């Protein structure tokens, strides 16, 4: 069935949305599976005392979120490309629940910014310990990304004694050759001070999901109209 006007625009918006969603979902799922089954990290999941740690929870969330995103993409892409109403209906329902979850999580992250910051600091500490014990280059790249993004250096912040100084950013000024901000404290401080920005990201993502939901509804209405027109035409002919 061919659609035109707003329906056609919405169809291509949904296809573009699903491509972006698929890339992000694959990245989350891939990172989560690598952290879950990697040679240097999978042992953590076999320790009962660490089953509630921020690292284990974070990895589990990455795997679940990546999987859900790919399921959403499967329905959305199939429904939009093949103009299938049933698949688009499932896609719209999933988008609605995801959008609601984004708004709720954004609000919770904002209201509990200090607790979330501490959890992220704990997650960093686990990565730090894993790198010190294994020297895994992939974990080293992750640490370097965190260090450069937040301009901090390891657990101590003292380049001369820091065990992961090779992943630290270049010092800004003379004093930073002696001491830099340490990462656990920086993570808590940054998250707490930028809690409104974090909430804005969640709300913005929710708004994007709502936009895709509206496009899915518009496309569904167009498909229903086209189907009715075809049915009316054949009824009049035969």
**What string of DSSP letters covers 58-117?**
HHHHHHHHHHHHHHHHHHHHHHHHHT-HHHHHHHHHHHHHHHHHHHHHHHHHHHTHHHHH
User: Which segment of 10-24, 65-79, 153-167, 209-223 scores lowest on mean pLDDT?
Assistant: 153-167
Does residue 237 form part of some domain? no
Does residue 196 form part of some domain? yes
Does residue 154 form part of some domain? yes
Q: Which of 109, 150, 134, 130 is CA-nearest to residue 59?
A: 130
Does residue 152 form part of some domain? yes
pTM equals 0.72
Does residue 194 form part of some domain? yes
Q: Which pLDDT value is given to residue 94?
A: 92
Q: Domain residues for 31? A: 5-232
Per the structure, the count of domains in the chain is 1
pLDDT cut 70: percent of the chain above it: 88
Does residue 238 form part of some domain? no
Q: Report the pLDDT averaged over residues 171-186.
A: 85
Q: Which pLDDT value is given to residue 172?
A: 85
Does residue 47 form part of some domain? yes
Does residue 26 form part of some domain? yes
Q: Which pLDDT value is given to residue 2?
A: 60
Tell me the per-residue pLDDT of 22-64, one tens digit each, with 9 for 90 and over: 998 898 888 888 878 876 666 666 655 445 566 777 788 888 8
């Amino acid at each position: 069935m061919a659609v035109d006007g707003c329906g056609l625009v919405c169809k291509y918006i949904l296809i573009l949305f699903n491509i972006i969603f698929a890339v992000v979902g694959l990245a989350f799922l891939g990172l989560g599976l690598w952290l879950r089954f990697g040679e240097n990290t999978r042992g953590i999941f076999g320790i009962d005392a660490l089953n509630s740690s921020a690292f284990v929870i974070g990895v589990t969330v990455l795997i679940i979120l990546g999987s859900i995103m790919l399921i959403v993409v499967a329905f959305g892409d199939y429904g939009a490309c093949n103009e299938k109403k049933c698949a688009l209906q499932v896609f719209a329902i999933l988008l609605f629940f995801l959008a609601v979850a984004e708004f709720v999580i954004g609000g919770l992250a904002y209201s509990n910014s200090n607790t979330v910051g501490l959890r992220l600091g704990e997650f960093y500490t686990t990565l730090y310990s894993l790198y010190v014990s294994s020297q895994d280059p992939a974990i080293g790249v992750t640490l370097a990304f965190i260090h450069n993004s937040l301009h901090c250096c390891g657990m101590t912040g003292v380049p001369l004694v820091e065990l992961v100084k090779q992943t630290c950013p270049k010092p800004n000024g003379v004093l930073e050759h002696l001491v830099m901000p340490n990462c656990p404290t920086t993570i808590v401080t940054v998250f707490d001070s930028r809690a409104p920005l974090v909430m804005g990201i969640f709300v913005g993502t929710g708004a994007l999901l709502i936009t895709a939901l509206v496009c899915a509804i518009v496309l569904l209405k167009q498909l229903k109209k086209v189907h009715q027109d075809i049915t009316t035409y054949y009824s009049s002919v035969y």
